[in-house]
Amino acid sequence: MSFTSEVKNEVSKSEVNELEIIAELSAIISTGAIIENDIKITTENASVARRIFNFVKELYKINPLITIRKGINYKKKNLYIIQIKDKNILSYLGINENSKIPLEYIIDDEECLRAYLRGLFLMTGSINDPKKSRYHLEFLVENKEYAEFINDSLNKYQLNSKVLKRETKYMIYIKEAEKISDFLRIINAFNAVMYYEDIRIYRDHKNMTNRLNNCEQANVDKMIETANNQIKDIELINDKVGLELLNEKEEIVAQYRMKYKDVSIQELSEIISLETGKKITKSGVYHRLKKISELAEKLKNNC
């Protein structure tokens, strides 16, 4: 079972009051096909089909007809077609047949808007499993005006959704993991939120660990390159004029750098302090190596 199906199964079992049912049904039926006096709604999810059937029957005393067919896609999933033979239900649910955008009173408070978005997700939404793929949630609708309405509704919750034209349809999508998790809370998919957050936190931690490891490796590479350059400078000075040209402190540092070629400047300062009995700081070693480098550069320029 896909993650989308799991979320829809959870959401389709959530309890709602009468006003929320109206808002949710308004979103659901607005996605259906309207032919003369019939409204046909199609879903691959049995739990969603059952929810629609029960809502219509309980609220409007209409018995929808449910037909089950095999899908024509490669997975050949069952398709549940709910047929409502009463077009008057559109006016009950505040649906504008041409634009699909509901009348204002349908979504005029917080809970009703959440219910409307829940209905939209049940019919047109899909969400990637964060364990298997990138973060992505989308709705797919046919009407540009309706797509912009959905986008505006989502962004009332600062979800950073966007609209993209996809062939003959319009996709409203969210890419940020935290915002997708927020949407799942909005539609009352609380089990999905817990799963999503666990995966998101794990992946964020893993990415942070990788970044730290990469940073540490980069520092090691930089340290090795710096040490190699220092060794080359010392060898050049020794070949051209001899290390005796350095002052006593610089010569000691040069000798220890040649003896301990792979250590960091911090480690070199600790070794010199321990073996000579004379304390020298990291900055002291760095300063003397810098003087050695400047001398080597002058010798290169004079060649």
The model's pLDDT over 224-245, given as tens digits with 9 standing for 90+, comes to 888 888 888 888 888 888 888 7
Residue 200 lies in a domain: no
Contacts of 179 (CB under 8 A, 6+ apart): 158, 159, 160, 161
Residue 27 lies in a domain: yes
Instruction: Looking at the structure, tell me whether residues 180 and 220 fall in a common domain.
Output: no
Instruction: Looking at the structure, tell me whether residues 218 and 86 fall in a common domain.
Output: no
Instruction: Looking at the structure, tell me whether residues 155 and 238 fall in a common domain.
Output: no
User: Secondary structure of the chain in the HEC alphabet?
Assistant: CCHHHHHHHHHCCCCCCHHHHHHHHHHHHHCCEEECCEEEEEECCHHHHHHHHHHHHHHHCCCCEEEEEECCCCCCCEEEEEEECCCCHHHHCCECCCCCCECHHHHCCHHHHHHHHHHHHHHHEEECCCCCCCCCEEEEECCHHHHHHHHHHHHCCCCCCEEEEECCEEEEEECCHHHHHHHHHHCCCHHHHHHHHHHHHHHHHHHHHHHHHHHHHHHHHHHHHHHHHHHHHHHHHHHHCCHHHCCHHHHHHHHHHHHCCCCCHHHHHHHHHHHHCCCCCHHHHHHHHHHHHHHHHHHHHHC
Which of 156, 188, 220 finishes a domain?
Answer: 188
Instruction: Looking at the structure, tell me whether residues 105 and 214 fall in a common domain.
Output: no
Residue 198 lies in a domain: no
The model's pLDDT over 265-279, given as tens digits with 9 standing for 90+, comes to 888 888 888 888 889
Give the mean pLDDT of 67-94.
83
Question: Which has the higher per-residue pLDDT, 282 or 204?
Answer: 282
Predicted TM-score (pTM) of this structure: 0.69
Instruction: Looking at the structure, tell me whether residues 92 and 169 fall in a common domain.
Output: yes
Residue 62 lies in a domain: yes
What range does the domain containing 132 cover? Answer: 3-188
Task: Residue 146: name the closest of 127, 166, 163 by CA.
Answer: 163
Residue 197 lies in a domain: no
Instruction: Looking at the structure, tell me whether residues 12 and 87 fall in a common domain.
Output: yes
The model's pLDDT over 92-139, given as tens digits with 9 standing for 90+, comes to 899 887 778 999 999 999 999 999 999 999 999 999 998 887 889 999
Give the mean pLDDT of 220-224.
78
Give the mean pLDDT of 8-36.
91
The domain that contains 173 carries what CATH number? 3.10.28.10
Residue 194 lies in a domain: no
Residue 29 has pLDDT above 80, yes or no: yes
Instruction: Looking at the structure, tell me whether residues 172 and 138 fall in a common domain.
Output: yes
Instruction: Looking at the structure, tell me whether residues 51 and 154 fall in a common domain.
Output: yes
Q: In total, how many domains does the chain have?
A: 2
pLDDT of residue 17: 93
Instruction: Looking at the structure, tell me whether residues 27 and 170 fall in a common domain.
Output: yes
Instruction: Looking at the structure, tell me whether residues 108 and 145 fall in a common domain.
Output: yes
pLDDT of residue 131: 83
Instruction: Looking at the structure, tell me whether residues 40 and 113 fall in a common domain.
Output: yes
